Amino acid sequence: ALARQNAAALAERTGVRVIGADTLAALLADPARTLYRLDVRTPEEYQHGHLAGFRSAPGGQLVQATDEWIGVRHGTIVLTDDDGVRARMTGHWLRQLGWREVYVLDGWSDLPRESGPEPVLLAASPPEVEMIAPSDLAALRDEAWVIDLATSPEFRRGHIPDARFAIRTGLADHPALETVREIVLTSPDGLAARLAAPELARQGRHVRVLAGGTRAWQQAGLGLETGLDPATALFGADDVYKRPYEGTDNAAAAMQAYLDWEFGLVAQLERDGTHGFTVLE
């Protein structure tokens, strides 16, 4: 009870507003706004049961990496949890970060609920492509190139033996594929591979996609390799942003330099009148 009272007080001081199901419906019906519905509980709690239409966005991560969930500046944010404490605490930080419309949903007991992981939302249905089962690929591997569209960190953690790391952009026109006619594409869940397959097939190649992706291969009891060999990779591993202290011979010094820069941001913000932050005193 005390936690809820304190969270409610902080939310009120920072301008977080509490709404019910009717107001949520009105926000959803407004075509002029971009609405983000976020469940700030843990992913495990989310999978056990959540409100339909809400994405999983654990509160701490949402505050520290807001752009991973909210892409439109000053979009409308509706937060929920099971008792309002975490939603209000998350909301009060978002308000201090400059987000103008932050709401906490209350009185949601009659709203439809779902369970399971967050569904993958696509702008369009993935194309119909020729699939190959993990067992069939295991028997075929010497006759086809296996190309993996995982991110470079994912590839390093585990990939099908002899698979080649690649990035979808530019893959169809890659000179190394000019004489390759048998290709099997994979990715962690197979989705990126399905999207890329038609682009390679247009060049006259026989392209198949591993059904279920690399995860299905592993679940079938087939082994993985680790690491990323630049000699066999089709692209350089420049697809993800590395933190300043990653990939360095002196991680401690690099980490300290990063922290010094981070603490220096406070002074920079004091000199900048355009950031929009409103820190609670």
Q: Angle CA(266)–CA(269)–CA(273) in degrees, nearest 5?
A: 160
User: What is the average pLDDT across 204-216?
Assistant: 95
- Given 1.10.10.60, 3.40.250.10, 3.40.50.300, 1.10.150.120, which CATH number is that of 131-219? 3.40.250.10
CA-CA distance, 26 to 30, in Å (whole number)? 6
Q: Report strand pairing: 182-186 vs 206-210.
A: parallel
Q: Which two tokens stand for residue 9?
A: 């007080």
Measured CA to CA in angstroms, residue 189 lies from 96, 127, 146, 195 at distances of 37, 15, 15, 12
CA-CA distance, 62 to 99, in Å (whole number)? 12
What pLDDT is stored for residue 229 in this prediction? 95
**Of 19-28, 92-101, 215-224, 265-274, minimum mean pLDDT range:** 265-274
What pLDDT is stored for residue 38 in this prediction? 98
134 pLDDT higher than 80: yes
Q: Which two tokens stand for residue 272?
A: 């900048």
DSSP, collapsed to helix, strand or coil, labels residue 113 as strand
Instruction: Check: CB of residue 176 under 8 Å from CB of residue 203.
Output: no
**Of 87-96, 196-205, 268-277, minimum mean pLDDT range:** 268-277
Q: Where in the chain is the domain with CATH 3.40.250.10?
A: 2-114, 131-219
Report the predicted TM-score, pTM, of the whole model to 2 decimal places. Answer: 0.75
pLDDT in tens, 102-128: 999 998 888 999 999 888 878 788 899
- Given 3.90.1260.10, 3.40.1010.20, 3.40.250.10, 3.90.79.10, which CATH number is that of 2-114? 3.40.250.10
pLDDT in tens, 29-56: 999 999 999 999 999 999 999 999 999 9
User: What is the average pLDDT across 215-242?
Assistant: 94
Confidence of residue 181 (pLDDT cuts 50, 70, 90): confident
CA-CA distance, 105 to 81, in Å (whole number)? 8
What pLDDT is stored for residue 248 in this prediction? 66
CA-CA distance, 191 to 215, in Å (whole number)? 11
What pLDDT is stored for residue 27 in this prediction? 97
Give me the torsion for CA of 138, 143, 144, 148, rounded to 10°.
40
What pLDDT is stored for residue 267 in this prediction? 85
196 pLDDT higher than 80: yes
**Alpha helices in 70-113, H assignment, sequence order:** 85-96
245 pLDDT higher than 80: no
262 pLDDT higher than 70: yes
| Dihedral pair phi/psi, residue 42, rounded to 5° | -70, 155
pLDDT in tens, 2-30: 988 999 999 999 999 999 999 999 999 99
User: What is the average pLDDT across 166-193?
Assistant: 94
